[in-house]
Structure formats: C-alpha cells, structure tokens
Chain A
Amino acid sequence: MQQRDIRLLILIVIVAVVAIWVSLPTNPGIHIAIGETTISRDIRVHQGLDLQGGMQVLLEADLPENQTVDADAMAAARKIVENRVNGLGVTEPVVQGIGSRRILVELPGIEDPEQAVANLRETGLMEWIDTGAQYLPPGTVVKTDMATSADAGETVTDTEAVTDTETIYHTVLTGKNLRDARVEFDQTGLPVIAFELDDEGARIFAEHTANNIGRYLAIALDKTIISCPRIEGAIPEGRGQITGSFSVDEAKATVLQLRYGALPIPLKIIDTRAVGPTLGQESVQRSIRAGTIGLIVVLLFMLIYYRLPGLLADLALLIYATLTLALFKLIPVTLTLPGIAGFLLSVGMAVDANILIFERMREELRQGRTLGRAVESGFRRAWTSILDSNVSTWITCGILFIFGNSFGASMVKGFALTLALGVLVSMFTAVVVTRTFMRTTVAVAGDDLRRKTWLLGI
C-alpha cells in the first residue's frame, strides 16, 4: 500500500466524520467566539416553499409591454417591496428581481396570504416621525399613529390609549406633502439629501422644527426607518437637508425611496403559488421514507450482485449520501420536493460509476489478471465513460437551471441543482473513495483474495 493511499484513507475518514456531524438533525450549528470575532451559523436544511408551506408571488411592472421599464425605478420598487416583506415578519423571505420588469417574492410559512398580498400592493407610505430624543438606526421597524390598511384600518389617535408596550411614535408629515428630493453636496463635498415640501407641508414643518430643536425627526418608509436626522434649527420655507454619514449611492437610493415613497412603478401579480403546511409536511415524510427504501434496495443489490466490491461501494455510497446532505446544509441548497427527487435519483446514478468500474474489473479478472492489476485497469479504463456520461448530465442540469431561473420556477431549479451537485460528489465517492477502499483491501488481504472468486463475484 502506497503512502498516497494511506493519506487518502485518512482524508476520507475525516471528510466522512465531518459530513456525519453536519448531517445530524440535531446539529447545533457553529457558534464560536474568539475574542472580538464571533462566528455564528445555524446548520440546518433549508426547506422550499412546497415543503414547509408558503406562498410565491410574481409581480410584474403594470406598464404597456412595449414600454421600457426604468432600471432605477424598478430597483426602487424592489427595495420598497423588500421593506414591506420584511415588515410581514416572515422568516427568510426572498425578494428577487427577474429580468427587467419582474419581482419574485417568496413568503415561507405565511399564514394569511390575503393580508400579505394586500400589504405588497399597498402604495408605499413615507412619514416624518417625531422620535423625541431617541436616535433610531436605519432599518428599525416602528409603529406610528398614522394608520394604514396593515393595521386593519383602526385609527390610533391618542398614543396614551394604547396599552402595547411598544412605543408608538407621532407622524408629523407624510409623503403626500413632499414636492421634490435630490442629492446635493455640502461645503465639505459630502452628499446630502435636499428636499422641498408643498405649502401645507412647509407650514407644519416650520412649526414642528421651531418647537423641537435638538430632537430627532426620523424618516420612515413603510414603517421602516431609512434616516434619522436631528433638527439643527427651525426650517421655515419648507426646504431642508438631511445630513448623515452616507455614501453617494446610499444618498441616491434614499432619494429614490423618498421620491417614490409610493411605488415608482405600478405592479400587478401575474403568478401566485401557495402550498399549505400540511401538504408540505406530508411530502417530506413520504419522501424520506421512499428515499430510505430506495437506498436500502440499491445497497442490497450492490452487495448481492458484486459481493466484496459491492460492500465497499455501499460504504462509499453511504459516505456519498451523508456528504451530499452535508453540502446541502452548508451551501445552503433550498430543498424542494423535486430537489429531493433529484438527490435520490443521483443516489441511483452514483452507483453507476461503480458498476462501470466493477464490470471492467470482472472482465480483467476473467482474463486472468492479478487482483491489483485488475483493480487499477478497471478504474483507469472506466474513467472516460464515467466522465463523458456525467458531463452530459451536467449539460442538461445547466440548461434546466437557466430555464428554471428565467421565470422563477424554483422547483425546476432545485431539481437541477441537487442533481448536478449529486453527480459531482458521486465522482469523488465512486472513484476516489471506492478506489482507496479497494486498494486498502487488496493490500491487507493480499493475493489470497484472488482465489476467493465467490467474494469477488466472478
């Protein structure tokens, strides 16, 4: 046995142990704190919408088809949709631009689809909020006394009347009083946001700023703080500047949000898919059962048909299954029902490489080669077939992935991704892992094994 094989064997054992640890359903994740730096990551299976239940909505710019959609406006619309989705309190929502005029929204585990859709469609609400002496960092979600349909239409008039422990801030002005906003630069060359209010807005603003110097007047879009400037002095003419430590790009983005507090582009829903949590959970359990049965049958087949090499291939196959699952958790790959099917299919295909190799080996052994030579030439001569056939699967997966991505069919995408990844891992386990096991066995058992034809399945 060569030095290289021993090193490989050690590597395989390490990889297998790590993969088993990662795949364990009880894996606590990685939470390490070394001095200042902390690494905190949960390791778990990300379930797609069809498994955990939820809703997927495809929004499209509601403009005539021949009209080009302004990319900036679309980006602003996406940002606004994202804010609203975050406001729904869903874990791991997805908001993704698709093409030049579409936005894909995924809301896992949503319980009230009607409310969610109503929320997405609502025209964006911009507010100037009196936060008193408290600075609120951008991104904070607040409640205000300005009612929206999201609050089920109840108008909260008196902050004292609410017994909720959360603070409800007073809305001084809303976006309907904004006339214009743009990026300007101050004397030091730093970007600032200049805005201009209409007459009514100017009056309210003048009054409020005169009475609240030194306090904060935050700007919120859809109840999320985007900027929290301090009132430096009374602003009588309804013009003002928001200064802060932001970059030019951030300033531009904020201006877009200010200007387009209402969605810059009307959006319509062109595709909705929702799966109830019951159906999803049932599918997961059924797939796990089906997968286990399928795997056991494949393991038995290999063992009975190829005997000792089959047993080694079975070990490699088990490593394959755990390693792939570990990769799904680490990358992470969102598992959908077709994705699980793709993974299970790749289990069936993972043994293909071994079958190719073992058939070659049998041929060589029948021609009277020594065991060592037969093993080596079995692997070497099956290699081109393995590579060629896997490349053809990758080509198909690549096309499926692009196809699935082009219109947000995450089911198709999930299938292509798991299958392609599975085939890649299988090349490692079926070739490198099995070969190392075979070489080790040959080295340990020696030439005696050659005579035990029953064990070798010849």
Chain B
Amino acid sequence: MFTLIQKRRWYFIISALLIVPGLVAMIYSTVAIGAPLRLSIDFTGGSLLELSFQQPVVVEDVRQVFADAGLADTTVQTIGAEGNVIVCAKPMEVETKEAILRTLEERFGAVTELRFESVGPTVGRETTRSAGLAILATSGAILVFVAIAFRNVPNALRYGICAITKMLHDVLVLLGIASILGLLAGWEVDSLFLTAILTVVGFSVQDVIVVFDRIRENIGRRRGEEFETIVNRSLLETLHRSLATQLNAIFVMVALILFGGVTIRQFMAVMAIGMVVGTYSSLFFAVPLLVVWERGELRHAFARLGGRRAPAT
C-alpha cells in the first residue's frame, strides 16, 4: 500500500514553512505600521472614494485638493484604467465630499464617482470586536459539532481538537499571506476578507470531517489493524474525493478571479488560497496530528523537547 501518513514529519515541516514567514511578517508589520495586517477603513474608520476622471490626472494635484479641504492625511492612488483613482482619507461628510468633487471638476474636467465609503471610528472598533467574536464563535461551534458527530469513536474530543488546530493552522497561513501582501503590495484587510476566512474555515473543516468519517467507519470494520494503517487507508480512499471537490471549487474561483468584478477579486483570491491550504492541511496536517496524538508521540515529542531544553537553562 502506498504510504502517506508515515512521512508525517515532512508534513509538519512544510506546515511550519507555511506559517513561520507569515508570523515574522506580522511581527514586522506590527512594528512598522502598528498592526499585524494592513487594516482597511472597515476596521480603522476613514473614508474611501473611487473616482474616474475623463482626462488623466496627476495624483499629487488631486491630493492637494483634499488637503486644501482640510483632509491632510489623504492618500491618492491610481488604479486600473487611466484616470481612475482611489482616495483614502479621514471620515468625511457627504457635503464635504460633494464640495470636493465640484472643485475637482472645475480643475480637472468631468469626474464620475464610482464608489464612496465613510466609516466612523466607533463602527470600525465594533467591527474589529465582532470579527474576533465571530472567529471564536465559529471555532467553538465546530469543536462542539465535531465532538458530537464523533461521540461514538474513542477519544472523540481529540478529533474535534485536531479539526480546530487545523482551522487555526489555516487561519494563520491566510493571515500570514495577507500580512506579507500587505507589506509588499499594499493589500488591505476588510470585512470581506474576514468573510473569506470564515468561509474557508467552514469549508476546510468539511475535508477533515470526510476523512475522519472514513477513519470512524474503518475503525469499526477493521478491528485489530493498527491505527496508523487504518488512517493511511482512509486517507487514500478519500483522496480522490478531496481532490475532485477542491478542483471544482477552484474552477469556479479561478473563473471569478479572472473574469469577475474587480471589487471581489481579492476576496476570491483569499478564498482560493484558503481552499488549497485547507485541503492540504486536512490531509497532511490534521490527520497526521491525530495519528501522532493517538500513538502518544505528542507527549514523547514534548518530553524530548523539554529534555533538550533542560540542560540549556
């Protein structure tokens, strides 16, 4: 039989390679810009204005108009087609915005407002808090659900905890990637990013559940077989399904990224990365983790780690 699970040490190393750079980026980002991720106005409060000028404009000139209107900390970026700009500023009133638009029109010719968002600081703080609550609630609910679904298996809670650890693994990888892209490409994290993360969490638990389901079934049918062998068998049996399902989801997402609207491109990209990472970690993180735990290797590893550390102190 093709052995997958026996190579588990390698999988943990790959997972570490996926997570550690992100963690480093988040620490660096916290020092450099004051937050582990580049947060959008959804969380910090502020305003965003997307404009389309008929003639090309100089970014600095546009910024000056906002500065003259008392919005000093304004950034202006060009995006997409020529003449399209995104303006980020402090929260502003609709009246202020209209006045600025009139000034812009006088100076640079016809301008169309594509999008305008202004979020007060209180709303931003609340969104951040509810975001944290939402992630906690999802983790809790899924832990309970998995524990109930696997209640007939010995050590049911272990399955739940492995699923949750895997979930945290996926979330950490995504946050790390977002942090790196925030530093390198200026990607901002908004409430849609959060939606993507939560969806990935929901979907990625599916994969684990399918494999765990098969383990549960095989434990009942193949008594006497070693746990490691059972798990390996279950993994191989469900591999086709995991790949086929993910492939289909990826088809849809790639189509949306390539041909869909610009506004949800980042949302879909995060989701697609999350799906791939989620499938990987279901098969090569959550399942090996369960094996390591069931075989008591975890305690072993900690003891070895502790033993190594002891003389150093």
Contact = CB atoms under 8 A, between A and B. Distances in A.
B245 A351 contact: yes
Interface string B238-282: 101100110111111111101111011001100100000000000
B140 to A, nearest CB: 10
A293 B257 CA distance: 11
A416 B194 CA distance: 12
A413 to B, nearest CB: 10
Contacts of A282: 261
B10 interface: no
B205 A392 contact: yes
A105 interface: no
Q: Is the interface of B mostly helix, strand, loop or mixed?
A: helix
Given A273-B117, A305-B244, A294 B251 contact: yes
Interface residues of B, number: 72
Contacts of A355: 241, 244-245, 248
Contacts of B168: none
B114 A294 contact: no
A312 to B, nearest CB: 16
A270 B267 CA distance: 25
A349 B191 contact: no
B209 A392 contact: yes
Interface stretch (A16-24, A135-143, A248-256, A383-391): A383-391
A295, A396, A419 interface centre (most CB from chain B within 10 Å): A396
Interface in A367-398: 381, 384-385, 388-389, 391-393, 395-397
Interface in A393-442: 393, 395-397, 399-400, 402-403, 406-407, 409, 411-412, 415-416, 419
B202 A276 contact: no
Given A297-B251, A344-B252, A389-B206, A396 B123 contact: no
B192 A393 contact: no
Interface stretch (B17-25, B60-68, B92-100, B172-180): B92-100
Interface stretch (A148-156, A200-208, A283-291): A283-291
Interface in B173-223: 191-192, 194-195, 198-199, 201-203, 205-207, 209-210, 213-214, 217
A235 interface: no
Contacts of A278: 52, 112, 114
A265 interface: no
A279 B244 CA distance: 35
B120 interface: yes
Nearest to A411: B192
A115 to B, nearest CB: 9
A395 B264 CA distance: 23
Contacts of B153: none
A122 B195 CA distance: 36
Interface string A9-33: 0000000000000000000000000
A186 interface: no
Contacts, number: 210
Contact of A392 (B114, B123, B131, B145): B145
Interface in B19-58: 47, 50, 52
A158 interface: no
B252 A294 contact: yes
A414 to B, nearest CB: 10
B116 A337 contact: no
Interface in A308-351: 337-338, 341, 344-345, 347-349, 351
B301 interface: no
A393 B202 contact: yes
Interface residues of A, number: 69
Contacts of B52: 278
B255 A297 contact: yes
B119, B194, B199 interface centre (most CB from chain A within 10 Å): B199
A359 interface: yes
Contacts of A396: 138, 142, 198-199, 201-202
Given A294-B255, A411-B191, A399 B198 contact: yes
A65 to B, nearest CB: 8
B79 interface: no
Contacts of A338: 192, 195, 264, 267
Contacts of A106: none
Nearest to B239: A359
Contacts of A389: 205-207, 209-210
B251 A301 contact: yes
A352 B246 CA distance: 9
Contact of A393 (B131, B206, B213): B206
Interface in B88-127: 93-95, 98, 112-120, 122-123, 126-127
A356 interface: yes
B72 interface: no
A272 interface: yes
A352 B245 contact: yes
Contacts of A391: 145, 149
B259 A289 contact: yes
A108 B122 CA distance: 25
Contacts of A290: 255-256, 258-260
Given A337-B263, A341-B268, A392-B202, A276 B113 contact: yes
Nearest to A116: B94
A92 interface: no
A369 to B, nearest CB: 16
B198, B240, B261, B263 interface centre (most CB from chain A within 10 Å): B261
A303 interface: no
Contact of B127 (A279, A283, A407): A407
B134 interface: yes
Contact of A272 (B118, B209, B214): B118
A117 interface: yes
A385 B210 contact: yes
Nearest to B42: A409
Contacts of A393: 202-203, 206
11 contacts: A276-B113, A302-B248, A338-B264, A341-B260, A348-B252, A384-B213, A388-B213, A395-B202, A399-B134, A399-B138, A407-B126
In order of increasing CB-CB distance, the 9 nearest A-B pairs are A396-B202, A294-B255, A389-B206, A283-B261, A270-B120, A294-B252, A290-B259, A290-B260, A348-B249
Interface of B: 47, 50, 52, 93-95, 98, 112-120, 122-123, 126-127, 130-131, 133-134, 137-138, 141-142, 145, 149, 191-192, 194-195, 198-199, 201-203, 205-207, 209-210, 213-214, 217, 237-238, 240-241, 244-245, 247-256, 258-261, 263-264, 267-268, 271
Given A345-B249, A409-B191, 5 more contacts: A290-B260, A337-B261, A341-B256, A388-B149, A399-B198
